[in-house]
């Protein structure tokens, strides 16, 4: 590979003559978590031991004076690699860059390439554009097995993304074990059937769907993400999108016991605002904060039919509870009006329009840009008749890449909602390669669509192939990626 193959694009590259060949004598050391990651992943793909050494061939060194948080400098010479990073996260980003400089077979889990493994000589200076480079993953509508969440974390880190926003609860399923409230998963984690597509008349399958994560499952996901310098931000959505919880504990609702919802859209079953309901959710959030060390906890707050001032007070109570525990709450941009005035420090996920971001900033809140118009990856990728379940806005790869974020925000985030993504293969198709384009928007200072497309086609898609990612081909879906006869609802 060459220096002009990197994705996302670095700040500055200075190629030089020569190469460094990795061989049986190559050693790796320095920042321990990064050296271990490089040894484990690149070592597996190359078949090389990449042993530790006092004076390693490839050294990851941390010096806070060397860059900004997440940033690094790397120099590759014929006799070795020197990385100087601001912090351990920067060292990991440098390791991801070095992996990209190798052949795509460096992304295999075992040795299949018996040629030379070489790094081109040169220098790179790099740093992130935004501190929050996130991806929201909805595991409530369709449960994603733990192994697939672990894999998704690795794909985020490959793209230098650093936040996994995990949407754990909704009308269609509760995916988080809370020992004090066992009905949340005994009842709330399962539904009898699911809507198929979004046609003018509802259509359903007859297959039960469900699943949930134990606390240890989630601790494992958190630890795996931490090794990849990805923070897992959990979301427990209130007071709407709560029908699964109400099905488990009907006293939380405003009527009789419903079933876990089998449809898509917005359910009218919402939480009541009784003190006992607030106590219930404070206990849930306490357990969430015990499992997730994330500095940010999302309380949702979006799409609440018939919301009242009492619901706004309910949201403020829960946000204040999160803040009292030393964390920061985040919520979707509806909470700007529903719970005004919001406690200081609340983060706003602005998804509806730019004005929401403006209003949040004017009120002193940090903002994460999550625009539905550009960063909702369940939305259709083309208007071709073979495009599977065409819902939402037309959101092409080029449209994602062309988004221009406000510079005064905390960061940006892509959303992978899963109503129509019922398998990991469907998730891959919806997310990639659009998430690769998003990653360059989130990380890189400079953008050039033609150059991005060249790097994507010539270099990055082969990496995704080696990882086993079943992305959408740029020319349209493979026959097995289509969904003939399943209706959508384009906007």
Active-site residues: which are they? 303
Q: List residues bridging with 362 in a β-sheet.
A: none
Q: What are the CA-CA distances from residue 482 to residues 76, 189, 379, 477 (Å)?
A: 44, 28, 15, 6
Q: Two tokens at 417?
A: 């909602």
Other C-beta atoms closer than 10 Å to the C-beta of 122 total 19
Which candidate, 95, 91, 119, places its Cα nearest to that of 31? 91
CA dihedral of residues 186, 187, 189, 193 (deg, nearest 10): 130
370: Cβ–Cβ under 8 A, 6 or more apart, which residues? Answer: 136, 349, 350, 351, 412, 413, 414, 415
Helix H, strand E, coil C: the string for the chain is CCHHHCCCCCCEEEEEEEEEEECCCCEEEECHHHHHHHHHHHHHHHCCCCECCCCCCEEEEECHHHCCCCCEEEEEECCEEEEEECCHHHHHHHHHHHHHHCCHHHHCCCCCCCCCEEEEEEEEEECCCCCEEEEEEECCCCCCCHHHHHHHHHHHHHCCCCEEEEECEECCEECECCCCCCHHHHCCCEECCCECCCCCCCCECCCCEECCECHHHHHHHHHHHHHCCCEEEEEEEECCCCHHHHHHCHHHCCCCCCCCCCCCCCCCCCCCCCHHHHHHHHHHHHHHHHHCCCCEEEEECCCCCCCCHHHHHHHHHHHHHHHHCCCEEEEECCHHHHCCCCCCCCEEEECCCHHHHHHHHHCCCCEEECCHHHHECCCCCCCCCCCCCCCECCCCHHHHHCCCCCCCCCEEEEEECCCCCCCHHHHHHHHCCHHHHHHHHHHCCCCCHHHHHHHHHHHHHHHHHHHCCCCCCCCCCCHHHCCCCCCCCEC
């Amino acid at each position: 590979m060459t220096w002009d193959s990197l994705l996302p694009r670095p700040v500055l590259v200075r190629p030089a003559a020569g190469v460094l060949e990795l061989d049986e004598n190559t050693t790796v050391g320095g920042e321990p978590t990064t050296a271990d990651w490089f040894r484990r992943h690149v070592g597996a793909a190359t078949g090389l031991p990449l042993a530790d050494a006092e004076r390693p061939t490839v050294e990851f060194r941390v010096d806070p004076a060397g860059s900004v948080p997440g940033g690094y400098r790397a120099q590759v010479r014929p006799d070795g690699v020197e990385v100087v990073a601001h912090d351990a996260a920067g060292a990991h980003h440098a390791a991801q860059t070095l992996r990209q400089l190798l052949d795509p077979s460096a992304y295999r889990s075992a040795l299949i390439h018996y040629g030379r493994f070489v790094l081109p000589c040169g220098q790179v200076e790099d740093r992130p554009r935004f501190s929050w480079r996130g991806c929201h993953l909805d595991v409530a509508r369709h449960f994603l097995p733990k192994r697939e969440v672990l894999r998704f974390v690795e794909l985020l880190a490959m793209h230098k993304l650093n936040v996994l926003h995990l949407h754990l609860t909704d009308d269609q399923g509760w995916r988080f074990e809370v020992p004090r409230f066992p009905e949340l998963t005994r009842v709330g984690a399962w539904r009898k059937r699911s809507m198929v597509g979004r046609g003018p008349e509802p259509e359903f399958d007859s297959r039960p769907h469900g699943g949930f994560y134990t606390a240890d499952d989630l601790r494992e996901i958190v630890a795996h993400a931490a090794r990849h310098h990805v923070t897992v931000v959990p979301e427990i959505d209130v007071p709407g999108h709560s029908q699964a919880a109400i099905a488990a504990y009907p006293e939380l609702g405003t009527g009789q016991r419903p079933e876990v919802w089998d449809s898509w859209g917005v359910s009218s079953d919402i939480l009541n605002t009784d003190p006992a309901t607030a106590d219930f959710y404070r206990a849930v959030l306490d357990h969430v904060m015990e499992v997730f060390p994330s500095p940010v906890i999302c309380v949702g707050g979006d799409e609440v039919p018939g919301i009242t001032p009492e619901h706004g007070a309910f949201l403020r109570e829960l946000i204040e509870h999160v803040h009292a525990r030393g964390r920061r709450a985040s919520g979707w941009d509806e909470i700007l009006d529903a719970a005004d005035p919001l406690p200081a420090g609340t983060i706003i996920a602005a998804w509806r329009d730019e004005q929401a971001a403006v209003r949040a900033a004017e009120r002193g809140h940090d903002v994460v840009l999550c625009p539905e118009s550009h960063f909702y990856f369940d939305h259709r990728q083309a208007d071709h008749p073979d495009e599977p379940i065409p819902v939402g806005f037309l959101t092409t790869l080029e449209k994602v890449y062309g988004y221009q974020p406000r510079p005064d925000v905390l960061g940006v985030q892509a959303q992978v909602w899963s109503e129509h993504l019922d398998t990991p293969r469907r998730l891959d198709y919806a997310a990639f390669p659009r998430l690769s384009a998003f990653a360059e928007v989130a990380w890189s200072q400079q953008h050039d669509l033609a150059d991005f497309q060249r790097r994507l086609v010539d270099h990055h898609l082969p990496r995704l192939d080696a990882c086993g990612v079943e992305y959408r081909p740029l020319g349209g879906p493979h026959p097995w990626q289509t969904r003939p006869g399943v209706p959508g609802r384009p906007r």
